[in-house]
C-alpha cells in the first residue's frame, strides 16, 4: 500500500525538495504533484525530475473540490502529503483572506476527499499534514516548543495553519481518518523564494541593496536545512505513528542580526569584496506587526522514537545555500521580476 502519493504544493520551496526525494526514492510508487503555481510555485524547481516515469504534475487549486475528488478517483490516491499553503507571514499581514482560503478551506477540501474516497478502508492510507512551529506562538528567552505546547498563534498566517492542524486532528478523532502532523521550524536552502529572510538578504547583498532588518534584529529563529526537513517527512511517511504529532527543528537558534552579519561575512568572501563591506548595507526598518520574539523546537520525540537527526550543520548549509543562489542567477532573476517587484515596493519602500 501507499503507492499513489498526492503531494500538494510540490512546486514550492519545501515541496520541490520533497517531490524530488520521493520521485528518486520510490521508482515503483507514483508521485502526483498538485500545485496552483501561485507566485511562490515554480516548475523550474523540478526541472531535473519533470520527465521521470513515476512523476505527474497537475496544475490546480486545492480548494477546487471537484478537481481534488477527480484526482482521488482517477489516480487511486492512498497517501496525501499536504504542503500547499500561503506561507509568508508578511503577506498574511497585508492580505489575510488568501491564507484563510488556501490554508483552511483548502485543507478541509483535501480532508473531505480523503474521507470520501477512503471511506471505511483506512488501512494503508495516510493523510500527512505539514505544519509549522508558529502555531505554538512566541517564546521568551528560554524554553522550547514541544508537541504538547498549547497553541497560541499570533499572525494571520499562523492562525490559519493552527486552524488547519485542528481540522486535521478533528478528522482523526471524529472519522478516524489516518493522519500525521509535523510542525517544523524555519527552513532554508536552494529554491526558497526571496521574500524570506535568508534568500532576500542573499539577493540584496549580491545587488548591493539595503538589508532590511526588522526592529532591532533581536528576534530569534531556529534554522533547519531544507533537505533535512524533507528527510524527516520521508521518515514520518514510512514510520510515523497514525494520530501523532512530531516536532522537527534545527536546534540551531540565531538572532536575526547575527545571522545577517554572518551572511554578509560569508558573501564578502564569496564575492571577493573587502571584509565588512556588505555589513554596511544593514538597515534597521519598522518592525513586523505582532513580531514573534523567539521560536525554538524540542525535537527529541522524532529523534528518540524514529532516529531522525539533522545532517547538515549551519556552516555547511549556509555555504551550500549561498553557492546555489550565486550559481543559479537565472532562477533568481526570473523570480525577482514582476510580482516580486510590486510586493517588495509595498513591503519595504512604501510603508
Ligand atoms: P512556498 O510558499 O514556497 O510554497 C507553497 C506552494 O503551495 C507553492 O508552490 C504554491 O504554488 C502552492 N500553493 C499555494 N496555494 C495553493 C493552492 N490553493 N492550491 C494548490 N497549490 C497552492 O511554501 P514553503 O515554504 O515551501 O512551505 C511549504 C509548507 O511547509 C507550508 O504548508 C508551510 O506552512 C510549511 N512550513 C514551512 C516552513 C518554512 O520555513 N518555509 C517551516 C515549517 C512549515
Ligand atoms: O517557523 C517556521 C516558519 O518560518 C514557516 O512556517 C513560515 O512559512 C516561514 O515563512 C518562516 O516564518 P518567519 O516569519 O520566521 O520567516 P521569515 O523568513 O519571513 O523571517 C525570519 C525572521 O527574519 C523574522 O524574525 C522576521 C525577520 N525578517 C524577515 C524579513 C523577510 C527581517 O528582519 N527582515 C526581512 O526582510
What is the domain partition of the chain in residue ranges? 4-187+225-248, 197-220+253-289+313-345
The pLDDT, as a whole number, for residue 297 is 98
- The CB of 248 under 6 Å from ligand 1? The reply is no
**What is the rounded (10 degree) CA torsion for 57, 20, 243, 127?**
10
- The CB of 154 under 6 Å from ligand 2? The reply is no
The topology under which CATH files domain 4-187+225-248 is Rossmann fold (3.40.50)
The arrangement of strands across the sheet holding 30-35 comes to: 55-59, 30-35, 4-8, 79-82, 126-132, 179-184, 245-248
Residue 298 near residue 247 (C-beta atoms within 8 A): yes
Residue 329 has which C-alpha cell?
A: 542567477
The pLDDT, as a whole number, for residue 120 is 72
**Distance in angstroms (rounded) separating the CA atoms of residues 41 and 44:** 9
- The CB of 180 under 6 Å from ligand 1? The reply is no
Q: Which of 86, 133, 165, 227 is catalytic?
A: 133
The pLDDT, as a whole number, for residue 277 is 97
Q: Which atom of ligand 1 is nearest to the CA of 11?
A: 9
CA distances from 80 to 177, 178, 216, 292, 326 (A): 12, 10, 41, 31, 34
The pLDDT, as a whole number, for residue 1 is 76
The pLDDT, as a whole number, for residue 346 is 92
The topology under which CATH files domain 197-220+253-289+313-345 is UDP-galactose 4-epimerase; domain 1 (3.90.25)
Is 152 an annotated catalytic residue? no
- 256-270 and 314-327 are packed helices; what angle lies between their axes, rounded to 10 degrees? 50
Closest by Cα among 278, 274, 221, 280 to 251: 221
The preferred substitution site among 38, 94, 196 for testing ligand 2, maximizing ligand atoms within 8 Å of CB, is 196
Q: Which residues contact 275 (CB under 8 A, 6 or more apart)?
A: 265, 268
Q: Which residues of the chain have pLDDT under 50?
A: none
Phi, psi of 246 (to 5 degrees): -130, 130
Phi-psi bin for 197: left (phi > 0), alpha (psi -120 to 50), beta? Answer: alpha
Q: Which atom of ligand 2 is nearest to the CA of 155?
A: 14
Number of neighbours of residue 148 by Cβ within 10 angstroms: 9
- Protein residue with least CA distance to atom 14, ligand 2: 89
Q: Which of 157, 171, 188, 325 is catalytic?
A: 157
**Distance in angstroms (rounded) separating the CA atoms of residues 203 and 41:** 19
**Distance in angstroms (rounded) separating the CA atoms of residues 77 and 67:** 13
pTM (two decimals): 0.98
The pLDDT, as a whole number, for residue 338 is 87
Convert 16-32 to b/e letters by CB count within 10 Å (16 or more is b): bbbbbbbbeebeeebbb
- 13-25 and 226-239 are packed helices; what angle lies between their axes, rounded to 10 degrees? 50
Say how many Å lie between the CA of residue 164 and the centre of ligand 1: 13
Residue 209 near residue 194 (C-beta atoms within 8 A): no
Amino acid at each position: 500500500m501507499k503507492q499513489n502519493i498526492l503531494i500538494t504544493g510540490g512546486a514550492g520551496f519545501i515541496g520541490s525538495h520533497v517531490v524530488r526525494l520521493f520521485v528518486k526514492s520510490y521508482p515503483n510508487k507514483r508521485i502526483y504533484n498538485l500545485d496552483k503555481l501561485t507566485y511562490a510555485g515554480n516548475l523550474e524547481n523540478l526541472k531535473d525530475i519533470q520527465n521521470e516515469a513515476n512523476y505527474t504534475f497537475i496544475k490546480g487549486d486545492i480548494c477546487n473540490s471537484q478537481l481534488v475528488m477527480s484526482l482521488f478517483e482517477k489516480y487511486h490516491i492512498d497517501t496525501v502529503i499536504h504542503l500547499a499553503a500561503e506561507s509568508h507571514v508578511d503577506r498574511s499581514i497585508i492580505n489575510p483572506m488568501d491564507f484563510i482560503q488556501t490554508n483552511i478551506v483548502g485543507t478541509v477540501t483535501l480532508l473531505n476527499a480523503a474521507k470520501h474516497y477512503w471511506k471505511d478502508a483506512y488501512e494503508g492510507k495516510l493523510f500527512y499534514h505539514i505544519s509549522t512551529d508558529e502555531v505554538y506562538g512566541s517564546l521568551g528567552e528560554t524554553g522550547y516548543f514541544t508537541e504538547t505546547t498549547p497553541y497560541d498563534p499570533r499572525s494571520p498566517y499562523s492562525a490559519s495553519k493552527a486552524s488547519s492542524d485542528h481540522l486535521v486532528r478533528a478528522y482523526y478523532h471524529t472519522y478516524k481518518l489516518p493522519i500525521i502532523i509535523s510542525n517544523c521550524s524555519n527552513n532554508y536552502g536552494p529554491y526558497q523564494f526571496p521574500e524570506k529572510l535568508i534568500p532576500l538578504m542573499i539577493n540584496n547583498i549580491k545587488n548591493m541593496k539595503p538589508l532590511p532588518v526588522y526592529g532591532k534584529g533581536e528576534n530569534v529563529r531556529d534554522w533547519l536545512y531544507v533537505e533535512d526537513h524533507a528527510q524527516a517527512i520521508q521518515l514520518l511517511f514510512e514510520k510515523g505513528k497514525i494520530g501523532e504529532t512530531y516536532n522537527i527543528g534545527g536546534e540551531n537558534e540565531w538572532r536575526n542580526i547575527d545571522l545577517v552579519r554572518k551572511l554578509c561575512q560569508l558573501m564578502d568572501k564569496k564575492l571577493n569584496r573587502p571584509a565588512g563591506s556588505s555589513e554596511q548595507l544593514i538597515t534597521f526598518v519598522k518592525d513586523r506587526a505582532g513580531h514573534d520574539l523567539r521560536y525554538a523546537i524540542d525535537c527529541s520525540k522524532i529523534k528518540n522514537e524514529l532516529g531522525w537527526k539533522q545532517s547538515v550543520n549551519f556552516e555547511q548549509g549556509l555555504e551550500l545555500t549561498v553557492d546555489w543562489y550565486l550559481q543559479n542567477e537565472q532562477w533568481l532573476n526570473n523570480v525577482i521580476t514582476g510580482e516580486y517587484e510590486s510586493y517588495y515596493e509595498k513591503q519595504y519602500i512604501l510603508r
